[in-house]
Structure 1
Amino acid sequence: MSGEPDTTEELRHELRHRIRPMRGRDPRERGRTTTPLELLYDLTYVVAFATASDLLAQQLSHGDIWPALGAYIFAVWAVSWAWLNFTWFASAYGNDDLLFRIATIVQMIGVIVLAYGLPVSFERASHGESPNNLLMVSGYIIMRVPQILLWLRAAREDPSHRKNAMSYVLIISVAQVAWLLTAIVPLPVGVTVTALIVVALFEMIAPVVATRSYGFSPWNAGHLAERFALLTLITLGEVIAATTAAVGTLTQAVGWSPEAVLIASSGLVMAAAVWWTYFLVPSRWVLERRPERAFPWRYAHLALFGSITAIGAGLHLTTIAMEHGGVSLLGIALALAVPLAITIVLVFLTWSVLLHSFDSTHLPLLLLTLAPLVGAVVVGATTYPGQAIDLDQRGSLTSLSVVIGLVAAGAVIEVVGHELVGFGHTVRAWKADAAARPAGSVGAGPSVADGDGISGP
């Protein structure tokens, strides 16, 4: 049809994945969306998060609380940090060519290998040993070495950001050698755990220092906001899966009942409410105008991914309690209420960091949200104290339903409160932030418009 633009070259570029220049993307590009390759990459993290969640629940059911939490934090950090680093690189240099696709697939293999090492990690921790092990480290290194190669390629093909790229090559390489040494060098447990913490802090702090010294990579703030939101959705999928498993176990044991319906509804309500609450924070709006604020925002997500996945672990612990016993109602209440409370507080803090505002009127809503969670813990502590829950015991199923219902109620209060009054606070904070420093002006930190150094991992 005459007059229509010729899209042949565009289609050829879309379908023919040969070697393409890696010159960096446009950080000012609006409306940039996640690619199918990035979505495929994210799916492997379902396996890693689900494995960590299941192992946490199993260890908690055995009473190994602190070793289980230590191994869980280590696992979630390793998985989330590798994902964060690749995502930041892809936002700056993702060209979807043959080499980039192969490097991404290799990293996906690394995620699976790391997941195979997680049972060993939790088992070692339960025996008072270091959660680190060679299989887990091997998976992590497989995830990270392709990033070294990609940064080397970016350094060669994007001369304007060569120093920045080479600083990441050095940092990631040093870190991988350190991780390998922690796995193969026999050291006392305390020394090894200290080394793990030091290396993890190095991985997080060194890129910030390098960025301030050598400038930023051309990542896209709006694109990153979408990428982090999508991984948040994936972690919420673990909550839904755990709810399905818990209700399935319950209905097999006692059949469908009002309590079973309440537990099923509460689990889904928790997932939906956390989703709703997360997207009450206008991340993309703020980061596109204030990209320099991505630094604290991204690190908050490391904890957020872990707390959301831990909600699924709490529901999985409920399944174990119903199927095998050995878990008190207080244990279930804490396993559900604590990670949900941490999630809500993290969302609240993320809002404050992004908008550079601390709205004291949010505190009553926050306290009101946490009140039912405290109530759930109180019910758990005062009902059959010191006893494992037994579905055959009269009233135990009702008590369990009350605990789960109270936890879900806390999540609902947060959503309702924001929809009634909280959204107005967000709008006012947005206007106040714009009035304090127009986007692109100098004074409150680097931005894309300024051309100054944007912090990137």
Structure 2
Amino acid sequence: MAEKKVTWLELFYDLLFVAAVSKATHVLLHVEHGSISIEHLEKFILIFVPIWWAWVGQTVYNNRFGQDSTTHRIFMILQLFFVLIMTASLDADFDANYAPFLVGYIGLRGLTAVQYLVSARRDTKLRQETARFLGTYFWLGIVISCLSLFFDSWARYLILYAGIAIDIIVPLIGRTYLVKTPIHTAHLLERFALFTLILLGESVISMLSVLQSDKFTASSILFASLAFILIIAIWWQYFENVEKRVDKSKQTAGQTIIYGHLFIYCSLSMIAAAIQLLFLEQLEYIFILCFTFTSVLIYFLSVMFVFHRYRFNHLNLNFKIILSLTGMLCTLFTLDLFIVASPHLILGEIMLFFIVFAKATA
């Protein structure tokens, strides 16, 4: 399979999603009565999933069918306009901006579906079948989501996310088509790794917020230093695996990478929020402890799941290593349940876990 390079327009496309990711993460910073309410946790998921899927839709299309032509650029530039509309509408008060959010999301998904149908008229037979299947059946989810505009309250969201769920499931149903037109693995891993950098940027922002909120006291400097080492450890583990431990020549449907990264991205956003919330000490101890360790556990399991499928055979991890790392995380959590730990200590424990994780897997 010929090498496929990331284009400058793809990188610019990612840039506009930075604000969307930041707004989604900010929803987790709403503290009420010592906890993040169920409502805000739900809103985080409800905001994050469409952002992820809108970005994934165009990224995977570019991977399989994208060419740096004038027509393709026009399609992407039009999508950038809808990214701006969707991003501007994102807020904890989701109801007030529902219409512009829907316009932005539907615009993005509709243009991607049209791109598939255009490709279905131009490509080879097998690729035509794949493009036609996706370009046709994506419209099911899009139309159902559009119908939500005619409803109010909970029914509106039920219909919207039923459409999004169908949209997400379509490639899984059409796996027989996708395996016949495999992804460019190196390109797809690079694209998802670049978006991972955006999510790591949220942790950097949290670290800076800590320094600014406490005016560079010894406490804030120590906490920010621990956060910095934590971020470096996450970066080291992830990108060392992407660069040196995975077989980029494998030809697959790419679904492990695509769907596994939803949980990687969500957990990175949660870790970024946890850094700020730990330092501010506005949450009840048990809540912030569970929130922080759950975020780390989701990230750990997701990364192991995604990279295991693509690791070189001679670099496959021993099950004992996975079990040991899980045991380490559970032990630290259990100790903190019985011995009330300071925010600095909790962050230090998470930092230590990621250092060991990076050493063991990279």
Class of the TM-score when normalised by the shorter of the 2 chains? 0.7 to 0.9
State the match for 1:281 in structure 2. 241
State the match for 2:117 in structure 1. 152
State the match for 2:226 in structure 1. 266
Give the superposition deviation at 1:172. 2.2
State the match for 2:348 in structure 1. 405
State the match for 2:93 in structure 1. 123
What is the aligned counterpart of 1:141 among 106, 112, 115? 106
Secondary structure of 1:79's match? helix
State the match for 1:6 in structure 2. none
State the match for 1:341 in structure 2. 297
The verdict on how the C-alpha distance between 1:224 and 1:377 changes in structure 2, with shifts beyond 3 A counting, is farther
Matched, 1:205 2:169: yes
Distance 1:211 1:230 in 2: 25
The verdict on how the C-alpha distance between 1:358 and 1:202 changes in structure 2, with shifts beyond 3 A counting, is farther
Distance 1:60 1:300 in 2: 31
Q: How many pairs were matched up?
A: 357
Distance 1:294 1:411 in 2: 26
What is the aligned counterpart of 1:75 among 36, 47, 52? 47
Give the superposition deviation at 1:221. 1.3
Give the superposition deviation at 1:264. 0.6
TM-score (norm 1): 0.70
- Which residue identity lines up with residue 93 of structure 1 in the other structure? F
Give the superposition deviation at 1:410. 2.0
Contact 2:29–2:36 under 8 Å retained in 1: no
What is the aligned counterpart of 1:242 among 206, 210, 213? 206
What is the aligned counterpart of 1:228 among 182, 188, 192? 192
Contact 1:317–1:332 under 8 Å retained in 2: yes
CA RMSD of aligned residues (A): 2.8
Distance 2:110 2:132 in 1: 14
Distance 2:38 2:338 in 1: 22
Give the superposition deviation at 1:236. 0.4
Structure 2: unaligned runs, 5 residues or longer: none
Matched, 1:98 2:70: yes
Matched, 1:295 2:238: no
The verdict on how the C-alpha distance between 1:215 and 1:368 changes in structure 2, with shifts beyond 3 A counting, is closer
Distance 1:378 1:237 in 2: 33
State the match for 2:2 in structure 1. 29
The verdict on how the C-alpha distance between 1:214 and 1:37 changes in structure 2, with shifts beyond 3 A counting, is closer
Secondary structure of 1:94's match? coil
Distance 2:119 2:226 in 1: 48
Distance 1:311 1:358 in 2: 25
Contact 1:341–1:373 under 8 Å retained in 2: no
Matched, 1:256 2:217: yes
The verdict on how the C-alpha distance between 1:95 and 1:289 changes in structure 2, with shifts beyond 3 A counting, is closer
Give the superposition deviation at 1:287. 5.0
Distance 1:284 1:172 in 2: 35
Distance 2:187 2:170 in 1: 24
Deviations 1:106-137 (A, max 9, x none): 22222232222221xx335xxxxx89922221
Contact 1:33–1:226 under 8 Å retained in 2: no
Contact 1:117–1:133 under 8 Å retained in 2: yes
Structure 1: unaligned runs, 5 residues or longer: 1-27, 125-129, 384-398, 424-457
State the match for 1:163 in structure 2. 129
What is the aligned counterpart of 2:140 among 152, 159, 174? 174
The verdict on how the C-alpha distance between 1:342 and 1:213 changes in structure 2, with shifts beyond 3 A counting, is closer
Give the superposition deviation at 1:265. 0.9
Give the superposition deviation at 1:369. 4.2
Deviations 1:424-452 (A, max 9, x none): xxxxxxxxxxxxxxxxxxxxxxxxxxxxx
- Which residue identity lines up with residue 298 of structure 1 in the other structure? I
The verdict on how the C-alpha distance between 1:196 and 1:64 changes in structure 2, with shifts beyond 3 A counting, is farther
Contact 2:85–2:100 under 8 Å retained in 1: yes
Give the superposition deviation at 1:146. 1.9
Give the superposition deviation at 1:299. 0.7
Give the superposition deviation at 1:318. 4.2
Distance 1:141 1:270 in 2: 37
Secondary structure of 2:310's match? helix
Contact 1:314–1:335 under 8 Å retained in 2: yes
State the match for 2:272 in structure 1. 312
- Which residue identity lines up with residue 175 of structure 1 in the other structure? G
Deviations 1:22-74 (A, max 9, x none): xxxxxx124x3322111111111111111100122125677442221211112
The percentage of aligned residue pairs carrying the same residue is: 22
